[in-house]
A and B are shown apart, each in its own frame.
Chain A
């Protein structure tokens, strides 16, 4: 099913969804940057830029309470958080590199333990993707098998049209349902041409080749070379649409507090620190190696997917200029030589 929607109607669609009591998360200008945030009105929608942080937080918030506790003379009372209370959500304007991420993450949040906090938000969210018509020199989605017009992970998919407005394609039944329910905002597809998709700079990568090198190079001087520069912050992981590690902290007092689940990053020195004080990844090369291995080997071994969508955020924001696409190129070149 394919229709078109004008810019104005897209904003009115947001207003209609909000009026029905749902939540609409979409790119919004927040001072100096664009972020995916819940909108208060359709006027706030700003689809001009790739948001600074990815849209993963729609399903996997930066920080959330997973239980509460209280203790007094009568004993300990534990309060559960009921995922049923999570609102119906439309994630609007997710770029292909963001829209594809949850479909990759579903596997990890449901393979042995079903993470209801993540899964319930996923069930309740409809994703309206948006094709990219511009890219910058850090974008490399095409190098990892996606594209600026990739509909993977989207329920509905918007493609900007030459004369303004968007072509809107229903990708899943969920998307079709939304389009039918809100039919008044959509028109039949006319003859307007779509804008040409962006052309990301990243050269194609042979992920199979890269993985085969990683399979045999758990120990390699390359890890030290990169990690000499890495400062061990979490900027790359926290901006990444696919990084999904979290920590759990009990905060509050002995008498009353919360258990919170919050983002963690494998670059942090304490990431794998054991309660005993032993840390199996006690130096940065081991930690940086994990970042690459997890994305391009371990995740593939387990789930048959690469844990990277090529959004380029880690490249743009690494404080010391570490470029994951350049590292992958270097690895691929090693296979040619070795």
Chain B
């Protein structure tokens, strides 16, 4: 949600003409799957009531497949709806899911954690040039200024490994990696300066837990941070508990986070949470050569021990 820096660049529209054909392809595929009965539901996007908005949709009949869309407002990572947190959806049987490249990384992560089997899901991938960042007006088209920060550094515009890919992209603009730049800026600060950066951001946290609730990997049925007998982390929105909560969140997700940045997007208080996720991802890449990808891995870097693991941190 922190899109301050995005205002620097001159605004140029981004070509999203393929989204119309992607929409057609998704509708056709969804209708086909539902008609032949190979899935009981298709999880995708439909238009919201306000013009230019989109929201998740769970379509269970072929007639309703025509409501599905793909647009620059299709921001959600729908993988969330396949987790334990939303277990009722999958009770009905095999489902199909519309997924951008970034979302497929989350699906792969869930498969790696035995939360989902590949054969239980039909992946309707979308060739995606990007979606809008928070703060973009609902009526605006996608531009180099309002594109979500994560999309600026996307490496999976046209994902592999799905059951089908809707749409095809023409050339995409080169965009400055604002998030990487911001991370580098933070890393160049002194620990005290970084501490005050995060203290300031966490002071705004209201503990609405939107960051946790939208995360595909926060599927624990009992979150340690909700416990009160005894309390592990202060649940009140105060400096100590806020800091503890965000550190616990970042640590528990390291090696698991697929970098969809949903936590940051959902935060109503504009806390740049994906910087924490990114930093953890960077450390895991350096230490264990691990990176979230499109293919499921049996074990995450922190769930596996190898003799040649770096142990220099043990003192």
A251 at interface by CB-CB < 8 Å: yes
Known: A319-B213, A321-B54. 5 other contacts (CB 8 A): A32-B2, A228-B89, A319-B214, A320-B214, A321-B56
In the complex, the answer to whether B210 meets A63 with C-beta atoms within 8 Å is no
Among candidates A32, A62, A138, A265, residue contacting B270 with C-beta atoms closer than 8 Å:
A32
In the complex, the answer to whether B80 meets A231 with C-beta atoms within 8 Å is yes
Instruction: Tell me the bound Cα distance from A293 to B228 in angstroms.
Output: 28
In the complex, the answer to whether A238 meets B268 with C-beta atoms within 8 Å is yes
When distances are taken between beta carbons in the complex, the residues of chain A under 8 Å from B56 are 229, 320-321
B88 at interface by CB-CB < 8 Å: yes
Q: Given A231-B214, A232-B213, A262–B237 Cβ distance below 8 Å?
A: yes
Residue on A nearest B138 in the bound complex, by CB:
A137
When distances are taken between beta carbons in the complex, the residues of chain A under 8 Å from B235 are 247, 249, 251, 262
In the complex, the answer to whether B209 meets A233 with C-beta atoms within 8 Å is yes
Among candidates B4, B76, B209, B238, residue contacting A320 with C-beta atoms closer than 8 Å:
B76
Instruction: Give 13 pairs: A residue, B residue, CB < 8 Å, sorted on A.
Output: A30-B204, A31-B270, A53-B206, A138-B50, A231-B213, A234-B210, A237-B208, A249-B234, A251-B234, A262-B207, A270-B226, A323-B48, A326-B49
Instruction: Tell me the bound Cα distance from A233 to B85 in angstroms.
Output: 12
In the complex, the answer to whether B49 meets A62 with C-beta atoms within 8 Å is no
Q: Which of B56, B206, B212, B231 has the most CB of A within 10 A?
A: B206
Q: Given A235-B208, A249-B231, A265-B208, A323–B213 Cβ distance below 8 Å?
A: no
Instruction: Tell me the bound Cα distance from A317 to B210 in angstroms.
Output: 10
In the complex, the answer to whether B212 meets A233 with C-beta atoms within 8 Å is yes
In the complex, the answer to whether A319 meets B206 with C-beta atoms within 8 Å is no
> Distance (Å) between the CB of B223 and the closest chain A CB?
9
In the complex, the answer to whether A234 meets B48 with C-beta atoms within 8 Å is no
When distances are taken between beta carbons in the complex, the residues of chain A under 8 Å from B238 are 63, 260
When distances are taken between beta carbons in the complex, the residues of chain B under 8 Å from A283 are 88
A59 at interface by CB-CB < 8 Å: no
In the complex, the answer to whether B206 meets A238 with C-beta atoms within 8 Å is yes
A183 at interface by CB-CB < 8 Å: no
Residue on A nearest B2 in the bound complex, by CB:
A32
When distances are taken between beta carbons in the complex, the residues of chain A under 8 Å from B212 are 233
Query: B38-75: contact bitstring with A at CB < 8 Å (1 yes, 0 no)?
Result: 00000000001111011110100000000000000000
Q: Given A228-B58, A233-B266, A62–B206 Cβ distance below 8 Å?
A: yes
Residue on A nearest B231 in the bound complex, by CB:
A251
Instruction: Tell me the bound Cα distance from A326 to B48 in angstroms.
Output: 9
In the complex, the answer to whether A319 meets B262 with C-beta atoms within 8 Å is yes
In the complex, the answer to whether B226 meets A319 with C-beta atoms within 8 Å is no
Residue on B nearest A30 in the bound complex, by CB:
B204
When distances are taken between beta carbons in the complex, the residues of chain A under 8 Å from B138 are 137
Query: A211-239: contact bitstring with B at CB < 8 Å (1 yes, 0 no)?
Result: 00000000000000000110111110111
In the complex, the answer to whether A233 meets B213 with C-beta atoms within 8 Å is yes
When distances are taken between beta carbons in the complex, the residues of chain A under 8 Å from B4 are 31-32
When distances are taken between beta carbons in the complex, the residues of chain A under 8 Å from B136 are none
When distances are taken between beta carbons in the complex, the residues of chain A under 8 Å from B236 are 63, 249, 251, 260, 262
When distances are taken between beta carbons in the complex, the residues of chain A under 8 Å from B3 are 32
Instruction: Tell me the bound Cα distance from A229 to B212 in angstroms.
Output: 15
Query: A321-335: contact bitstring with B at CB < 8 Å (1 yes, 0 no)?
Result: 111011001000000
In the complex, the answer to whether A323 meets B49 with C-beta atoms within 8 Å is yes
Residue on B nearest A252 in the bound complex, by CB:
B234
In the complex, the answer to whether A268 meets B209 with C-beta atoms within 8 Å is yes
When distances are taken between beta carbons in the complex, the residues of chain A under 8 Å from B118 are none
B275 at interface by CB-CB < 8 Å: no
When distances are taken between beta carbons in the complex, the residues of chain B under 8 Å from A231 are 80, 85, 210, 213-214
Instruction: Tell me the bound Cα distance from A322 to B56 in angstroms.
Output: 9
In the complex, the answer to whether B209 meets A321 with C-beta atoms within 8 Å is no
